[in-house]
Amino acid sequence: MAVKAEIVSKDTIKPSSPTPDHLRDFKISLLDQLAPPSFYIPILLFYSASDINAFDSDFETISHKLKASLSHVLTLYYQFCGRLKGNSIIECNNEGVLFIESRVPIELSNIFEAPQLHDITELFPFDPYNPGTEHKENMAVQLNQFTCGGIAVGACFSHKVADGSTAALFLNAWASTSNGKGNNVVAPPQMAEATLLFPPRNIEVDMMTRGMVGHKNIVTKRFMFNETNISRLRQKLGCCNFNPTRVEAVTALVWKSSLAAAKATSGEQRFPASMMSHAVNIRSRMASMLSKHSIGNLWQQAVSPLVEVKGEVGLHDLVEIVRNTIRKIDGDYISKLQSVEFVKVIESLKEARTMASKKGIPCYSFSSWIRFGFYELDFGWGKPSYVRTIGVPIKNVVILMSTKDGNGIEAWVTLATHDMVEFERNPELLDFASFDPI
């Protein structure tokens, strides 16, 4: 069942102070150039009616406060209201951010009780993975009002100007400005660090291999790992020569369960060859650490070697591969990106995508959002009741998000429909995770 939203109004929010002429042409970094060309990062923040009422807020007040604070914070994040020109420059021309208001004819509890109601694209200003050629915005927002009085803020950030960490930094600045704490809390973003360290190149690279996007017969489901079960899983892996992190442990289990599902549906007697990749934030992995306020696409995709298994898949072996793969993104790797060797790095990533799209070797791609602090975003009427995204329309993609208490992990897993049938009944997975069977 899809969520339907009635559009009430559309506005364009411009910065409260125009961008100075000398900042009009903003050069993006090499890493921005490599980002997916037409993807947006989608984030949904839900706020309950009881919290809103406790702060004596109504929809009109909320809308006004969000628009005014957004206009103010855009003076700092001026490239968010510009437009991409080619693949190297953002014209910071104050064109603004799309801001839509809508009414949703259901109660917010319907979303909470049926989170697998994942066709909620209408809560965003547009489909973040298929925005259409008419949408050139670097950012867009939709404020949704439910019949119970609860709201949802759906934000889309162009992947050409932001990664998940940048989106979180912007939302935190916006929330702090809205709730009146901005003057003491909001630090100016470090706009130029990424471009100085990774200057744009004269290249046109489409890192999304044909056939990867828009798979048919795929499904996304949420799997919950609470604190107790994550601790049990890590203890099970405790005989490794290292203590795996929460992300490493959950990644290894989801990868193994996915391989078991693919084996079952293929009818083969052996596990398929596969690869695993993880999006790695490089801000703290450079020789000279970047500021946490550095914005842009400061991440790299760590890709494992081809894994071929003759017998049983060992969870301990997989978690070791996960750790080694993530740790490949180190100072030496980043130095290559900054030198003429960047071509070799790009070619190796393209080769992995080619193996996945043309040779049929599955690559299970993971991205962790658990440290982004989305549950701390208080715009002036309390913190979110729930935070989520929507499934990426690419099979074998997994997004890891924090639970509200900060101790658990939600894994939003997208698989081929027939693989999901096997995946969601895997006994080892269900020993540590729960899921919504709808």
Is residue 277 within 8 A of residue 363, CB to CB? The reply is: yes
22 HSE (CA, 13 A, CB side): 0
Is residue 240 within 8 A of residue 320, CB to CB? The reply is: yes
Residue 402, CA distances (Å) to 170, 278, 407, 411 in order:
18, 17, 7, 9
Give 375-405 as a 3 state SS string: HHCCCCCCCCCEEECCCCCCCCEEEEEECCC
Distance CA(373)–CA(337), nearest Å, equals 29
Residue 207, CA distances (Å) to 31, 123, 204, 336, 348 in order:
11, 28, 10, 18, 11
Known catalytic residue: 159?
yes
Please tell me which residue in 159, 163, 278, 419 is annotated as part of the active site: 159
**Sign of the torsion angle spanned by Cα atoms 135, 70, 282, 298:** positive
Residue indicated by tokens 């990106």: 337
Residue 400 dihedral angles phi and psi, to the nearest 5°: -100, 125
Q: Name the CA dihedral angle for 56, 61, 67, 72, rounded to a multiple of 10 degrees.
A: -60
For residue 59, the surrounding DSSP H or E stretch is helix 59-73
Q: How big is the CA angle at 135 (ends 199 and 157), to the nearest 5 degrees?
A: 55
Question: Given strand 97-104, what is the order of strands in its sheet?
Answer: 6-13, 97-104, 139-146, 151-158, 40-47, 386-388
Known catalytic residue: 378?
yes
Just list the catalytic residues: 159, 378
